[in-house]
Amino acid sequence: MLSTNISADYATNLDTKYDIFAIVVLFISIIGVIVNSMTLIAFQYSRMKKKYRVHKTWNHITVFIWNLALVDMLSALNMTVLYTIFVFYPNAINSYPICILTLITRDILVLISAAAIASIAFVTVLGITKNDWLKDYCDSSIKVTLFIIITWFVGFVGYAGKLFRIYYIFEDYYGSIKAFDCGTFFHKVNLSQVTVYSEFMVHFTVLVVLFTSYGVITTYTTCINQKVTGHREGNHPRCSPTTKVVLTICCTYVLQIIPYMICHVFFKETMRIGFFIQFAWPQKLCYIIYYTQFFPNIIIYVTRNKIYRDVYVYWLQSSTRSCSTKRRRTHCIERRDGIDLCLH
């Protein structure tokens, strides 16, 4: 059981060393780094080799999924650093550069991930409905790049209110003789209503975008299926594998975010106790689910879309062959006559 020392303005805990919940999150974070790095490499490799039409669909949907994998990988890497500290070196979190930089980065990346998911839903709507106004939008690399930059910008804007709160509170610590304590610092930050509702509004907006996007997709495909019995450009709208995988990703996001939002709205007073690994177990579970957003996406990519599975298999097979070739070369010896003899 974790011991927590709490007063009106003090909430800290250094008893996270070898804590089971912290170890679980650390383990998930490490897996997140590995699998999302694999996603980034596999997609780029297939694009470079012009396999499975990845190079042709890059601007239209694949680059947005790749962007989400990039954000997820960075989130997982950040969480790996943070929970390595919690599990093995809890005192290190009270270094204010480590504390502030790590926790701010964690929260901003979560918001960027939310915006990235919303962008996938939006692009999917464009692809399904073939909107006349924006039908050629994804044909421009500049426009697509700008759109991705905007998703990152949204994450920073959504956190701006909290950044001002952090700066205001940090002024009390800077140059003072009192020791900096990370738990106490973010306990004070979280007492502000700004910290609750600024991030809440970003997630709520993303939920609205998701529900609206798939409402449009469902309505459109229903109308098309009622009017025609044939295929549209060789693909039946309702059977699009990309639409299915994106819908599954977004539904997973909804399941991850709603418990967290409920805790923020109805249990916010009891949750302001330093770090989330100090909360009661139902709230702690909601936070663990919330901070593992980077983990399930890769499973969805591979299991729900045949093209993405083929991309992974192609990259893994190519990597295996490459490693095998290198191993064989290390067993080659040069004969006297100058002919290489490879030992098998």
Domain for residue 5, yes or no? no
3 domain residue, yes or no: no
Give residue 189's pLDDT: 78
- pLDDT at residue 6 is higher than 90: no
Structural domain total, the chain: 1
Average pLDDT over residues 83-99: 87
If one compares 172 and 41, the residue with the highest pLDDT of the two is 41
Question: What pLDDT, on the 0 to 100 scale, is given for residue 62?
Answer: 81
Does residue 102 sit within a domain? yes
271: CATH: 1.20.1070.10
Residue found under tokens 């109805």: 266
pLDDT of residue 40 exceeding 80, the answer is yes
Q: Which domain holds residue 98?
A: 12-342
- Per residue in 109-138, pLDDT (tens digit) is 988 988 888 888 888 887 777 666 666 666
- Asked whether residue 219 carries a pLDDT value surpassing 80, the answer given is no
Q: Is residue 6 part of a domain?
A: no
Question: Mean pLDDT throughout 32-54?
Answer: 84
Contact partners, residue 277, CB within 8 Å, separation at least 6? 2, 13, 16, 19, 21, 22, 25, 86, 284
Query: What's the mean pLDDT in 236-259?
Result: 70
- Look up residue 4 and give its DSSP letter: -
Using pLDDT thresholds of 50, 70 and 90, give the confidence band for residue 30: very high
pLDDT at 275: 67
The H or E element spanning position 340 is strand 340-342
Inside any domain, residue 265:
yes
| 327 assigned to some structural domain | yes
Q: What is the percentage of the chain residues whose pLDDT exceeds 70?
A: 71
User: How far out from the chain centre does Cα 168 lie?
Assistant: 29
Can you give the pLDDT at residue 81?
93
pLDDT at position 344 is 44
| Residue 275 within any structural domain of the chain | yes
State pTM to two decimals: 0.80
Is 4 part of any domain?
no
DSSP state string for 161-222: HHHHHHHHHHHHHTT-SSPP-HHHHHHHHHTSHHHHHHHHHHHHHHHHHHHHHHHHHHHHHH
